[in-house]
Amino acid sequence: MKSFKGLKDPFYGQIAKLVIPIVLQNLLSSLVSSADVVMLNFVGQSAISAVSLASQYAHVLFMLFYGLGTGATMLCAQYFGKKDFKAIEVVQGIALRFSLSVSIIVALLALTIPEYMMLVFTNDQELIALGAGYIRILSVCYLCWGVTEVYIAILRSVGRVAIGTVLNSIAVGLNVVLNAIFIFGWLGAPKMGVMGVALATSISRLVELALCFVVSARSEHIKLRFRTIFIRNKILFGDFIKLSLPAIGNDVVWGLAFSMYSVIIGHLGTDAVAANSLATVVRNFGTILCFGLANAGGILLGQKMGEGKLEETRSDGRKVLWLTVAAGAIGGVIVLIARPFVLMYAGSGNFTQTALEYLGVMLLINSYYVMGAAVNTTLIAGVFRAGGDSRFGLICDAIVMWVYAVPVGFLAAFVLKLPVLWVYFILCLDEFVKWPAVIHRYRSGKWLKNITRDNLFES
């Protein structure tokens, strides 16, 4: 009876309102990746492998923008709890200043030296040629992301989550349709294969950026104005550097390490790359609910801390953690249920028998890997960051990923020359190595802080 009454807690209703649109948005993003793999399977295994490796730059860049967005959300969610919209506008300008600087640099590199960018991941000339063309066309997408990811993150921080879902739904729908048109040459379009995926992605992200300006024009408080880049406030800039840069560093450190996993797997052969590409897609579906809870929990907890309700926040943080454990279990079951269907699909396409064997075991490993990722993501990127505790995540991931996971992965693959699946198993232990430190940090309560300031604009 007591547990039944607990389900009537208003907190669960509040988090459901945020989680549902975030999960839908993440689901749609995963569907685009799935559509790319499904359609490219009819082009060939090399096409899948090339896009998988070339997409690592987009993955790292996205992690950077995600770090900027969540870093800004730390401040904006708490200032929204305080109803200080001027502070939110300044923080948005600071985040855009960083994101545009990085996206312009990466876009220029993608336009001028994409072949060298591919050499980082593989020495296979066919994959380099396909991936370089993909990266060059995707340079437009990099520029768009620098704006849209920050703006949508700011909207999320003030509870306007549904808008991001709608914008993403339109972009995803357009992306899937254009994928089919450009990959297969439908409706009189040229048959572009891998390049068609990049062109479809770039066009859809341009449309998403245009829609952000439409939303901005109709928004009362949260506007997308490039002039905010030039607003100066030393106090907020100092807080952003102190709180957000560790979050950015955390996501980039994690994202780069994950890309190094692709470097390791990329040198183990196209069978390993193709199997990992499809396994990653399935794993992403398994973690959608977990990452949605991390985002939604961080927003709600941040707003409550901004209101000064620290003890209530502690109680709600416990609820978010248990919801995540349940979501991780559900995600693992999803991966297991999907496994026979994924193997059947891959077997009907261009996957070799070796790649199919790799894929089957990789999916089994990912069925429990989801739980590790769920707990760590929710606590590090959601609960801890809600109170401005972003430095811990940076230190934890830097040690685990770069002192343990990446060096041990290289050792296993290139020194000990272990079989592919043993290398993959070792790489997938990283999330569980983090657990003791992460759970200890959560129990310490050091993340419970009100990080807002008074009288920011008096002078």
Q: Could you report the per-residue pLDDT of 338-381, keeping only the tens digit for each?
A: 999 988 888 876 788 898 999 999 999 999 999 888 899 889 88
Mean pLDDT of all residues in the chain? 83
CB count within 10 Å of CB 101 equals 11
| pLDDT level of residue 396 (50, 70, 90 thresholds) | very high
CB count within 10 Å of CB 1 equals 5
Please enumerate in sequence order all residues whose Cβ is within 8 A of that of 417, keeping only pairs 6 or more positions apart, or say none.
Answer: none
| pLDDT level of residue 211 (50, 70, 90 thresholds) | very high
| pLDDT level of residue 56 (50, 70, 90 thresholds) | confident
| pLDDT level of residue 66 (50, 70, 90 thresholds) | confident
Q: Which of 143, 131, 269 is nearest to 194 (CA)?
A: 131
* Domain limits, the chain: 2-444
Amino acid occupying residue 239 = D
The verdict on pTM exceeding 0.75 is no
User: Average of pLDDT values for 267-273?
Assistant: 83
The answer to whether 80 touches 306, Cβ cutoff 8 Å, is yes
Looking at residue 143, its pLDDT comes to 86
Q: Could you report the per-residue pLDDT of 81-126, keeping only the tens digit for each?
A: 888 888 888 889 999 998 899 889 989 998 888 888 888 777 778 8
Please enumerate in sequence order all residues whose Cβ is within 8 A of that of 379, keeping only pairs 6 or more positions apart, or say none.
Answer: 321, 438, 439, 441, 442
Amino acid occupying residue 397 = D
**Residues, the chain, total?**
459
The pLDDT > 70 percentage for the chain reads 93
Residue with tokens 């008096």, as numbered in its chain: 458
Name the token pair of 74.
Answer: 């730390």
Looking at residue 4, its pLDDT comes to 41
Residue with tokens 């002039």, as numbered in its chain: 227
